[in-house]
Chain A
Amino acid sequence: MYGTGILKGLGVTLRHFFQTYADDLRWAGKGGRYYNDEAFAVRQSPEAQGVITVFYPEEKLAVPERFRFVPFLVTDDPPPGQRWGHDWCTSCGICAKVCPPQCIWIERGKLPNGRPKPEPVNFFIDIDICMNCGYCAEFCPFDAIKMDHDYELAGYDRSTAHIHDKARLSKPLSYWQEISPKRAAAEEFGRQMAESAKTKKKGPDEEAAPGMPNDVARQLPYRGAQY
């Protein structure tokens, strides 16, 4: 019959209309559907029904561990009274060389005798140019540069505020462990594994180092092939 197709289509609309209320009712006695952490988790999961909108900035989506935004530099946890600890960066320049839009500038340190010192004097990232590809973090052999989760970087002045210097970029290891616990642990595991492999090579009768367990390896890029 002519018109049944339209009616069916309108049925879909009607279903969606009622679905938005279905979830409202389900959460009615439990603190409501919105501004409620428990309901929010469901609203963003595959079980979500009806409206799945997030009321940013009151509500924010949880970002997964692998989420990548403008990079930061890892330092040791700071000693009391100081903001940063020792830089992990050795200013080897691999991140600057692999960076596709070339947004990283590194000024390498110098020893008094003129030889390079494995420590950056300055480190700049132009966040306007950064394309968040994550190569710097992927290829850093010292786990010294990592992708951040802080995506709220709006500023008032493009010409000065958007070039981040070393002070702005440095964050302690504990921050990395906080935003990305599983991966940070896996990296620690990988570093220890590489370390023990190095020392074991000296002893002749040692067995080959055990590989990385699967649930650790899958946290890392290339399943930890870099360790």
Chain B
Amino acid sequence: MSEAILEPTAAEPAPVFHTPAQEASARLKELFPDVVSDETREGYEGLAVYADSLPEIAKALRDELGFNYLSSVTGVDNIEEGKLEAVYHLYSIARGGGPVVLHVQVDRNEPVIPTLVPVFRGAEFQEREAFDMFGIHFQGHPDLRRILTWDGFNGYPLRKDWHEPFFEEQHKPFGSRWPEGEVFRAEEKTPYGKNVQYPAGWLPTGDEYDVETDVYLGLSYSRDATPGLRTDKVTVNLGPQHPSTHGVFRMVVTLDGETIIDLKPVMGYLHRNHEKIGERNTFIMNMPFTDRLDYLSGVSNNFGYALTVEKLFGLSVPERAEWLRILTAELIRIGNHLWALGFLLNDLGALQTPMLYFYIERELIVDFFEALTGSRMMHNYMRFGGVAYDLPDEVRGVPTMKYLEEMVFNRLPRVLEQGDELMTGNEIVRARSIGVGYLSPADAINMSAAGPLLRASGVPYDLRRAEPYSFYDRLDFDIAVRYNGDIYDRYLVRMDEMRQSLRIIEQVLPHLRRTEGAPIIGDKPQYALRAPRGGESYGRVENPKGELGFYVTAKRRDGNPSRYHVRAPSFINLTTLGPMSRGYKVADVVAILGSIDIVLGEVDR
């Protein structure tokens, strides 16, 4: 069908493509001339696509054009046009660079979009999330259930006409706060018992309350592992209250003896609808909320959000602020990985004590952040166009630069050495982790795994290199990559990454000395920012857990984002948990989950 359209004329020069994404978009328009067109809305990029042909387009992108990584799937409620929209961001692992963005608009009353799960398994949880939040039906999805809210939840919370029980106004700041400020507590207006709505005909005491059936039915039953012996499969809940799950997270597992036959993660116990809050908020109000996503790497979340909004607003960042951003992001990466390794040991059965050996140094990092930003974990450090604070005079009584040098050249390398000594050669660690929880490179890409999980499977994809942001292109470092795709390699990748982070910080320190006294923010910050242009913006950073993306849309002159979406690496990495765990023992699953390194604040959002 495409040949008929291609009528090359001799006079027309071959088009010049600056990025792989442009090239792929042009090719797509040739391949699917009737259903793919350029997105025409102001400030939007990418392609507008008809819903029906989405799977074919995705397949062509994956197989022919090399855009094989589906980073983000999300919904948008365009209530004025009466449309629901699904937005897909696809990247090329091999070629790097920017995304091909697909926009699919469907009627709000009949939102049906064919599923992408057969093409990209990474879409599974994200489509479920879009179904949960917007009520978009993904036709053909193997397991389309609510994922973050529960089955007795009424309505689709991210639709613009849905109001939470403590609803006050559409957007902050609320009028009741000033100038007439009459204080009240939210519970007074919506007392306990009246703050829950159930779907029509749904009774909390009725039979429908047995919502778990769906979860259990979804688990596949295979034939007996031991032929000839009549055995029963047992379905067991690991969690939600279980120390091995790193928070309130549940794994429903079907067991044959000790062997995992199937596993389904159940999440949402910490769900607070971060995105709805984000859409009520003004732009700047979201910054401290991002700290609460992956609370182990608050400043890195700030980074992602700041980049996204700076892209939308067209702001530039002064040099010193960029170096400070990289310094903090890399320090927090080390802090996060120290935490992850400690917990991995914990999950492998070396309870508590060895974990603390890593935390002594993490404590130094946290102390540094306390002196720099005023808070140990909820940093709220970055602002649009810069950072909030310059380096402090001293940290714990030591001049800041000396403290940093002591950390970077002495303490942190030493703790990595100690980690090597403790874990790398340890026979128990090796026996428990080598060959366990295997994830093949093809699966890792297909399931949208990100960060150390992806790189431990032999895919050298690091956003700091693939699509460099900030000053990462000026720095000399390697992408940490290992090839066996098991728990042990994930551990090694994290060790390598910490070494690379140290290498980066070593290069950043002279720049910090050089730029001493330079400005750290572009303009005098404003408390009421308005979007200078309408449109969308997708920014992503390489978080310690993986690719953290923010999708923000706004209307011109608006003070609030009209859509605020977080592509949470912990959440999407969990797609791999079920396939990785099949065939291993119960005790291994705990370690496999530990090796993914999730934070529930980010999973449940």
Contacts and interface: CB of A to CB of B under 8 A. Distances in A.
Contacts of A185: none
Nearest to A164: B183
Contact of B521 (A11, A131, A225): A225
Given A13-B354, A122-B181, A52 B363 contact: yes
A64 B378 contact: no
Contacts of A131: 288-289, 378
B183 A163 contact: yes
Interface stretch (B142-150, B415-423, B448-456): B415-423
A102 interface: yes
A68 B288 CA distance: 13
B519 interface: yes
A222 interface: yes
A122 B182 CA distance: 9
Contacts of A217: 390, 517
A132 B173 contact: no
Given A5-B425, A13-B354, A225-B521, A135 B288 contact: yes
Given A5-B427, A99-B173, A105 B396 contact: no
A75 B84 CA distance: 52
Given A66-B392, A218-B390, A16 B357 contact: yes
B516 interface: yes
B178 A225 contact: no
Contacts of A94: 527
B371 A64 contact: yes
A218 B391 contact: yes
A134 B418 contact: no
Interface string B265-286: 0000000000000000110111
Interface in B206-220: none
A56 interface: no
B396 A12 contact: no
Contact of B174 (A52, A102, A108): A102
The number of chain B residues touching the other chain, given as a range, is: 35 or more
- Dominant SS at the A interface? mixed
Contact of B393 (A106, A107, A218): A218
B178 A108 contact: yes
B397 A41 contact: yes
Residue from the set A9, A52, A107, A218 with the largest chain B CB neighbour count within 10 Å: A9
A113 interface: no
Contact of B281 (A100, A123, A221): A100
Contacts of A221: 388-389
B181 A11 contact: no
Contact of A98 (B284, B392, B523): B284
Contacts of B183: 105, 122, 124, 126, 163
A65 interface: yes
Given A11-B421, A102-B173, A105-B177, A46 B403 contact: yes
A116 interface: yes
A45 interface: yes
A67 B411 contact: no
B605 to A, nearest CB: 16
A9 B378 CA distance: 34
A159 to B, nearest CB: 7
Nearest to B376: A67
Contacts of B403: 46
A93 interface: yes
B176 to A, nearest CB: 8
A83 to B, nearest CB: 21
B374 A134 contact: yes
A133 to B, nearest CB: 4
B407 interface: yes
B353 interface: yes
A144 B72 CA distance: 43
A107 B182 contact: yes
A93 B175 CA distance: 11
B585 to A, nearest CB: 21
Given A12-B418, A16-B357, A133-B380, A106 B179 contact: yes
A8 interface: yes
Given A46-B403, A222-B525, A64 B392 contact: yes
A104 interface: yes
Contacts of B426: 5-6, 8-9
Nearest to A159: B185
Nearest to A44: B396
Contact of A97 (B180, B388, B425, B528): B528
- When A and B form their complex, which 8 residue pairs have the shortest distance between CB atoms, in order from nearest? A105-B181, A5-B425, A133-B288, A108-B179, A93-B178, A66-B374, A100-B285, A218-B390
10 contacts: A12-B357, A41-B397, A66-B374, A105-B182, A107-B182, A123-B181, A124-B183, A182-B393, A222-B525, A223-B521
Interface of A: 2-6, 8-9, 11-13, 16, 41, 44-46, 48, 52, 63-68, 91, 93-94, 96-100, 102, 104-108, 116, 122-124, 126, 131-135, 138-139, 147, 159, 163, 182, 214-215, 217-219, 221-223, 225-226
Given A67-B370, A102-B174, A133-B287, 18 more contacts: A11-B421, A13-B354, A45-B397, A46-B396, A46-B398, A46-B411, A65-B392, A66-B371, A100-B288, A105-B183, A107-B181, A108-B181, A131-B378, A134-B374, A135-B284, A138-B525, A223-B519, A225-B523
Interface of B: 172-174, 176-183, 185, 281-282, 284-289, 353-354, 357, 360, 363-364, 367, 370-375, 378, 380, 383, 386, 388-393, 395-398, 403, 406-407, 411, 418, 421-430, 516-517, 519-521, 523-525, 527-528
